[in-house]
Amino acid sequence: MNINSKILTTAHIVISTIMINAQSATAKLPGDPTLVSSKATLDKLISYDKGNFKYKVEDYFARPKASQFKISPDGQYLSYKEKDKDMKNHVYVKDLKTGKVTKAIEEKDDLIGSYGWLNKKRLFYVQDKGGNENLHLYAADVDGKNLKDLTPFEGVKVGAATIIKDTDFAVVTLNKNNKQIFEPFKINFVTGEMTQLFENKDPKNPIDDYLFDREGNLRGYIVLENGLITKTYYKDLQTGKFNLVKSTDWKDTFNIIKFNDHSKNKDEAYVVTNLDSDKAKIVLYDLKKNAVIKEVYSNPTFDVSSISVAGKNRDYELDYISYNGIKNETIPVSQLYKEIDAKLKAEFGDKQFSVVSSDDNDSKLLVVVGSDKLYGKYYEYDTKTKNIKLLLDLMPQLKEEDMAEMRPIEFKSRDGLTIHGYITLPKAAVDGQKVPLIVNPHGGPQGIRDSWGFNPETQLFASRGYATLQVNFRISGGYGKEFQNSGYKQIGRKAMDDVEDGVKYAIEQGWVNKDKVAIYGGSHGGYATLMGLIKTPDLYACGVDYVGVSNIFTFFDSFPEYWKPYKEMVKQIWYDLDNPEEAKIAKEVSPVFNIDKIKKPLFVVQGANDPRVNINESDQIVKGLRSKGFEVPYMVKYDEGHGFGKEKNRIELYTYMLGFFAENFNK
């Protein structure tokens, strides 16, 4: 079980203790607090969102009363998060035999991140401080006792964790000894005892990932050489020596998913690769012989990279393959999963479903069902009796018949690329009216993509009569390496062209009022918002920059220690600032140096503790525009990071955002 996949983040900023003296408090806060708009200024925006609307912001962004249901390995307990009157989401455990419910994990000031079962009596969860993303791993018994911070180190983060089944141990990677690199530790999740398993000796050519088998033995690792070459080493089980299996450019894919424990061949593993193809596919690979055994699955249009494997009770057979196409697709493989898939399809029709939890015997499954118009419902499926029982409608206040259609689209870019995306259309647009449009570029930008399904943002916008366009522009993931590579060193340039071509396509279809187009996005999407207002100032009526990059130079300078091994990659994705020609381009596509070109209203939003996009990025653009006499509403939350996670803050943000859009669409 993967508790938390390795995440690359930047910048660790901790809110300093607020002093009693107001002047001292201001000095200690991140960024420049004098730039932040007053609550009264932001509250003025609310008045513009006028209308007899059936749904409120809270209907879309209040967290469900209960969520994240999970079955314990022995099937005795059902765990879930439940929200209290103070909007805290605690983890509860229900004994399915007695019906007794116990609060196992209490959420206090900081949000509980992902959580799950370590074994039949103990839970884990991850948590940071105020959104700084320095994740710690915690464990607690089902009755809430014996709570332990298993990684109690200041300024240290959990990179990844793997539970060793049927033991009291997990393998966790930490940047404990050197902030630039991660090393594996074996932790007893009952006692907290920790042992280092391997040393990452060369920070200049660090081990970037580790491969452990289901018994917790180190079987391989990946070295990142000179920041650009990935070298995969595999342990010879006879000699104990780690031998080089593959040396590839970082843009190519050769990722070992897991060992094939269903096979008698101990060297056999499932691998995702695109070394001999444009699209990533799944193969069975003999790591000792360094050879493909057979192809498991591929798709001509989309990358395939995900599998699900059964547990010990079914001898680790392959259950299904999944990938993100136009919609999420699942290909059942095992006999049991073919039966499950057929039963659920018969029950739920064209809605999408996924098994999110099961006991070790696969007798009880928890299934989430959703669509573009359904946020999600939890069902319990008994594989023995074939009975399906509704557990919870996550958002019963949102009626499917009132929700908007998310329609897949496809168009040609100005230079001939096929671009995919989605448009969410309010009823008025479906009926032939031209409506306002919100263009929503995704974050990343590399390797990320927008997907089909229920999106609270686009549904909220549709409730106000606005369409939302989501373009999977070049550099987006999932469409093959050629498409992704075509966007490298094109951030702010051809990647923006694709977004603009998407707007043109939407206008040509007759859906959109061309005089009422806004742009809004988070992270890279915030950067794209700024560049959209600069590159095509007449295309947009306004923009919302949410935790976006404004200055590529200071963005690079803010990289934390654990991003430094990847700096050469980032140079190839964005721009090489050590190359005078590319540095010139980087300046041309850094919004802060092009402030004079911004003509339309801008709303800037930032989490003060953001470890990926430093608050200085937002401060710069606000300060620069105001120095030119251009007023910018600026919202900052000092208990948030890269995007708002707390319910109260999210509701406040979208309430202001709706007012901002309404004000500028109705001018």
In DSSP notation, 454-518 reads --HHHHHHHHTT-EEEEEE-TT-SSS-HHHHHTTTT-TTTHHHHHHHHHHHHHHHTT-EEEEEEE
pLDDT at 16 > cutoff 60: no
Tokens standing for residue 432: 């032939």
pLDDT, averaged across the chain: 94
Amino acid at 225: E
Q: What is the CATH number of domain 402-646?
A: 3.40.50.1820
Token pair of 660, please? 């901002």
Q: Quick one: which H or E segment has residue 593?
A: none
- Render pLDDT for 352-376 as a digit per residue (tens, 0 to 9): 999 999 999 999 999 999 999 999 9
Q: How far apart are CA 103 and CA 151, in angstroms?
A: 23
Structure confidence at residue 10 (pLDDT):
28
Instruction: Kindly give, in sequence order, each residue whose CB lies less than 8 Å from that of residue 226, ignoring residues fewer than 6 positions away.
Output: 204, 205, 568
The 10s digit of each residue's pLDDT in 572-582 is: 999 999 999 99
Q: For the beta carbon of residue 661, count every other beta carbon within 10 angstroms.
A: 25
Q: Which two tokens stand for residue 186?
A: 């074996």
Please count the residues of the chain: 667
User: Torsions phi, psi of 40, nearest 5?
Assistant: -60, -40
Residue 28: predicted pLDDT: 84
Does the pLDDT of residue 1 top 60, yes or no? no
Tell me if residue 343 falls in helix, strand or coil: helix
Q: For residue 390, what are its two tokens?
A: 């509704």
C-alpha to C-alpha distance for 644 and 623, rounded to whole angstroms: 22
Distance CA 623, CA 462 (A): 33
H or E segment at 659? helix 647-665
**Neighbour count for residue 414 (Cβ, 10 Å):** 11
Examine the pLDDT at 593 and tell me if it is beyond 70: yes
Cα separation, 172 vs 176, whole angstroms: 11
Strand order in the sheet with 169-174: 158-163, 169-174, 183-188, 194-196
For residue 136, pLDDT over 50 is answered with: yes
Average pLDDT of span 460-471: 98
> What separation in angstroms does the CA of 97 have from each of 76, 90, 101, 367, 531?
7, 22, 11, 21, 58
Whole-angstrom distance, CA of residue 118 vs CA of residue 163:
7
Mean predicted confidence (pLDDT) in 513-536: 98
Structure tokens at 665: 């669409």
CA 58/CA 650 separation, integer angstroms: 9
Burial 351-376 (b: 16+ CB within 10 A, else e): bbbbbebbbbebebbbbbbbbbbbbb
Q: From CA 643, how far away is CA 613, in angstroms rounded?
A: 10
pLDDT in tens, 200-213: 989 889 999 999 99
First to last CA, the chain: 53
pLDDT the model gives residue 197: 96
In this structure, are strands 512-522 and 602-607 parallel, antiparallel, or unpaired? unpaired
Asked whether 15 and 608 are in contact (CB, 8 A), the reply is: yes
Q: Give domain limits for the chain.
A: 402-646
Q: What is the pLDDT of residues 210-263, one digit of tens each?
A: 999 999 999 999 999 999 999 999 999 999 999 999 999 999 999 999 999 999
Comparing C-alpha atoms, which of 516, 532, 522 is closest to residue 661? 516
C-alpha 368 chain-centroid distance: 19
User: Which residues have a Cβ under 8 Å from the Cβ of 350 and sit 6 or more positions away?
Assistant: 371
Burial 531-563 (b: 16+ CB within 10 A, else e): bbbbbbeebbbbbbbbbbbbbbeebbebbbebb
Residue 9 in this model has a pLDDT that exceeds 70 = no
The secondary structure of residue 310, as a DSSP letter, is -
Please determine, for residue 269, whether its predicted confidence score (pLDDT) is greater than 90.
Answer: yes
Task: Write the pLDDT tens digit of every residue in 17-59.
Answer: 222 233 334 448 999 999 999 999 999 999 999 999 999 999 9
CB 340 within 8 A of CB 381: yes
Contacts of residue 97, defined as CB under 8 A and 6 or more positions apart, other chains included, come to 76
- Which helix (H) or strand (E) segment is 351 a member of? none
Check whether the bond before 396 is cis (ω within 30° of 0).
no
- On whether the pTM is more than 0.85, the answer is yes
The percentage of the chain sitting over the pLDDT mark of 90, rounded to a whole number, equals 94
CA pair distance 270, 19, nearest whole angstrom: 55
Classified as helix, coil or strand, 598 is coil
47-93, pLDDT tens digit by residue?
999 999 999 999 999 999 999 999 999 999 999 999 999 999 999 99
Task: Give residue-wise pLDDT tens across range 410-459.
Answer: 999 999 999 999 999 999 999 999 999 999 999 999 999 999 999 999 99
Angle between helices 647-665 and 456-463 (to 10 degrees): 40
Q: Would you list the DSSP string of 4-15?
A: S----------P
Residues 362 and 46: their CA atoms lie apart, in Å, by 50
Q: Pairing mode, if any, of strands 364-370 and 377-382? A: antiparallel
What is the tens place of the pLDDT at every residue in 490-518?
Answer: 999 999 999 999 999 999 999 999 999 99
